Chain A
Amino acid sequence: MSSANRGYAGVPAWIYVVAALGGLLVLLPLGAMLARVNWGRFIPLITSESSLTALWLSLRTSAASTILCVVLGVPLALVLARGSFPGQRVLRSLVLLPLVLPPVVGGIALLYTFGRQGLLGRSLEFAGIQIAFSTTAVVLAQTFVALPFLVVSLEGALRTAGNRYEAVAATLGARPTTVLRRVTVPLVLPGLASGAVLSFARSLGEFGATLTFAGSLQGVTRTLPLEIYLQRETDADAAVALSLVLVLVAVIVVGLSRRPSRSTNLGAAP
């Protein structure tokens, strides 16, 4: 690293100043929150029954929505990256919509789909399935907002990898499903992993859609972000302590996602 920096840096010095400002914009608020942590009460606050219940619920629902994202997102990314059909560009834009939509809008949309009075809600209720106010609703909300992260990461990895190896495998007589299983998926596995980690992170942070669509009940629908929002009403120390827990989980998750994505780039370099 140091030997590389000794030559031409390529970045004017003033860029570093502006970049430092950008970095501060992110780091300073996190530092300010860290300064507000009541360390004496920290352990009791984060190990209280309601906190642990919320954390456990968050981890379980985020894991479930990550699995859903992989199951639904991998075919979607394949179709978008490799397929060719009318309306492909439109479909890509629409699938990515939850990335830019305010989550509360997603919540309202889900309500009018799976809610009691919703598009599918009536038939579901007739079949004995009630989604509103259930943990299923939390998972649906999280999957809705997290799916684009997986699709974007994986589609990018698929395009970077190219289809040369797949073409070769096909000329050697492999059927499409075999090519997918033996060539495509192993090739983009790092991209898929980082996409899955990002989906997990987004699910963990989901707030607006859950609040609008699923409600808030301890152990059923009150995930960690909802618990923080509620604690803030009466106990700022508890809200700060729980926020720090989410920051720590986020740091771990981002750390995990950075490593495989770097190896993807190296693998795709030649």
Chain B
Amino acid sequence: MRFFPRGARSLILVIALAGVLTAGLTGCGSAGSPPGNSSTTAVGSEGLSGNLTVFAAASLKLPFTKLADEFEARNPGSSVVLSFAGSSDLATQITQGAPADVVATADTRNMAKLADASLLDGAPTNFATNVLTIAVPPGNPASIRSFNDLARPGTKVVVCASQVPCGAAADAVEQAVGTTLKPVSEESSVTDVLGKVTSGEADAGLVYVTDVKGAGDRVVGVPFAEAGSAVTTYPIASVATSRNKELASAFIALVTGAEGAKVLAEAGFGAPEVPSHG
């Protein structure tokens, strides 16, 4: 192993550096909790304080980041920590005891899993919907105009695998249209599908309309009529083990309220099909 530094001086340097970095880790942990964290102090109708941890589906990154800023501005004593991941990862993490106060998933299945395990506080509220669209690289090199164009021989189409929500939606659309796709890859996340399109590797990919909107001019969306046959519903709920229930319900109220609807619509999300219920 000659390629590693040999002298004791380098070893001391490495250990010292590791020590400094480790100190930074723990320091960050304690600095992240402002005074009076675990207890909620109500200051007027708007003006709650404390820490709130929100677990949200990866596709909610843009609108939820905006809404968290808005929440902190409305409640100056509060601090929102956002954690984004795939919906099944979120469900697994919460099942294993991750300290979340609010959870928002990109499908009802994973939320139902949490409800079945009695990990939710009250019934979840549907707050947004999303539909699939075709994403193509700028210039649309393979001239994709409709869903049926995706099935043309030689077209490199990338979709999500059936095991993940976006793949299940793609299957539903295929059934509705009556076209069977022969994808060159079945990815395990919608982000990976988008990546294959933005890098130009694939001619087209099936992603959510919000992904196309979020990707800016790196991809172009090709809407198709049958997209409505597979609508993905996003539910939100507070977690049973949350120590800050008041703050949690205030955040959910923001997301499901007028401000939330506006921010979500800007990001390309649709309104929930079922009227919201507390």
A residues at B contact (CB < 8 Å):
92-93, 96, 111, 115-117, 132-133, 152, 155-156, 159, 211-212, 214-218, 221-222, 226, 229-234, 236
Please name all residues of chain B whose beta carbon is closer than 8 Å to the beta carbon of A92 when the two chains form the complex.
3
- Interface status of B226 (Cβ within 8 A of chain A): no
Please name all residues of chain B whose beta carbon is closer than 8 Å to the beta carbon of A159 when the two chains form the complex.
2
For the complex formed, measure the closest distance between the CB of B193 and the CB atoms of chain A, giving whole angstroms: 10
Please name all residues of chain B whose beta carbon is closer than 8 Å to the beta carbon of A233 when the two chains form the complex.
86, 88, 161, 163-164, 188
Kindly state the separation between the CA atoms of A156 and B158 in the bound complex, as whole angstroms.
43
Please name all residues of chain B whose beta carbon is closer than 8 Å to the beta carbon of A236 when the two chains form the complex.
92
* One of A155, A156, A216, A218 near B187 (C-beta < 8 A): A216
Q: Could you say which of B19-27, B194-202, B216-224, B266-274 contacts chain A?
A: B194-202
Given contacts A221-B185, A233-B163, A234-B163, contact A215 B196 (CB under 8 A): yes
* One of B156, B163, B164, B192 near A133 (C-beta < 8 A): B156
Kindly state the separation between the CA atoms of A152 and B159 in the bound complex, as whole angstroms.
39
- B2 near A156 with CB under 8 A, answer yes
- B184 near A215 with CB under 8 A, answer yes
Q: Do most interface residues of chain A lie in helix, strand or loop, or is the interface mixed?
A: helix
Kindly state the separation between the CA atoms of A232 and B92 in the bound complex, as whole angstroms.
10
- A115 near B188 with CB under 8 A, answer no
- B188 near A230 with CB under 8 A, answer yes
- Interface status of B186 (Cβ within 8 A of chain A): yes
* Interface residue ranges of B61-93 to A (CB < 8 Å): 86, 88, 92
Pull 15 A–B residue pairs with CB atoms less than 8 Å apart, ordered by A: A116-B200, A133-B201, A152-B1, A211-B187, A211-B188, A215-B185, A215-B187, A216-B187, A217-B186, A226-B188, A230-B161, A230-B188, A231-B163, A233-B188, A234-B163
Kindly state the separation between the CA atoms of A132 and B195 in the bound complex, as whole angstroms.
13
The interface size of chain B toward A, counting residues with CB under 8 Å, comes to 24
Please name all residues of chain A whose beta carbon is closer than 8 Å to the beta carbon of B196 when the two chains form the complex.
215
Kindly state the separation between the CA atoms of A214 and B199 in the bound complex, as whole angstroms.
12
Kindly state the separation between the CA atoms of A215 and B188 in the bound complex, as whole angstroms.
9
Kindly state the separation between the CA atoms of A60 and B196 in the bound complex, as whole angstroms.
25
* Interface residue ranges of B111-149 to A (CB < 8 Å): none
Given contacts A156-B1, A217-B183, contact A230 B201 (CB under 8 A): no
Please name all residues of chain A whose beta carbon is closer than 8 Å to the beta carbon of B187 when the two chains form the complex.
211, 215-216
Given A230-B163, A230-B164, A233-B163, 8 new contacts (CB under 8 A): A111-B201, A115-B200, A115-B201, A132-B184, A156-B1, A215-B186, A233-B88, A236-B92
Please provide the 10 A-B residue pairs with the shortest distance between their CB atoms, ordered closest to farther: A215-B185, A133-B184, A117-B200, A233-B163, A234-B163, A132-B201, A233-B88, A230-B188, A217-B185, A233-B164
* Interface residue ranges of B1-28 to A (CB < 8 Å): 1-3
Kindly state the separation between the CA atoms of A64 and B188 in the bound complex, as whole angstroms.
25
- A215 near B2 with CB under 8 A, answer no
Kindly state the separation between the CA atoms of A190 and B187 in the bound complex, as whole angstroms.
40
Please name all residues of chain A whose beta carbon is closer than 8 Å to the beta carbon of B183 when the two chains form the complex.
217
* One of A133, A231, A232, A234 near B185 (C-beta < 8 A): A133
Counting chain A CB atoms within 10 Å of each CB, the highest count among B3, B183, B200 belongs to B3
Please name all residues of chain A whose beta carbon is closer than 8 Å to the beta carbon of B156 when the two chains form the complex.
132-133
- B1 near A216 with CB under 8 A, answer no
For the complex formed, measure the closest distance between the CB of B129 and the CB atoms of chain A, giving whole angstroms: 21
Kindly state the separation between the CA atoms of A132 and B202 in the bound complex, as whole angstroms.
9
Q: Which residue of A lies closest to B165 (CB)?
A: A233
Please name all residues of chain B whose beta carbon is closer than 8 Å to the beta carbon of A212 when the two chains form the complex.
195
Q: Which residue of B lies closest to A232 (CB)?
A: B88
Q: Which residue of B lies closest to A159 (CB)?
A: B2
Please name all residues of chain B whose beta carbon is closer than 8 Å to the beta carbon of A232 when the two chains form the complex.
88
Kindly state the separation between the CA atoms of A92 and B199 in the bound complex, as whole angstroms.
31
Kindly state the separation between the CA atoms of A234 and B1 in the bound complex, as whole angstroms.
42
Q: Which residue of B lies closest to A132 (CB)?
A: B201
Q: Which residue of B lies closest to A151 (CB)?
A: B3
For the complex formed, measure the closest distance between the CB of A110 and the CB atoms of chain B, giving whole angstroms: 11
For the complex formed, measure the closest distance between the CB of B54 and the CB atoms of chain A, giving whole angstroms: 22
For the complex formed, measure the closest distance between the CB of B164 and the CB atoms of chain A, giving whole angstroms: 5
- A234 near B186 with CB under 8 A, answer no
Please name all residues of chain B whose beta carbon is closer than 8 Å to the beta carbon of A96 when the two chains form the complex.
3
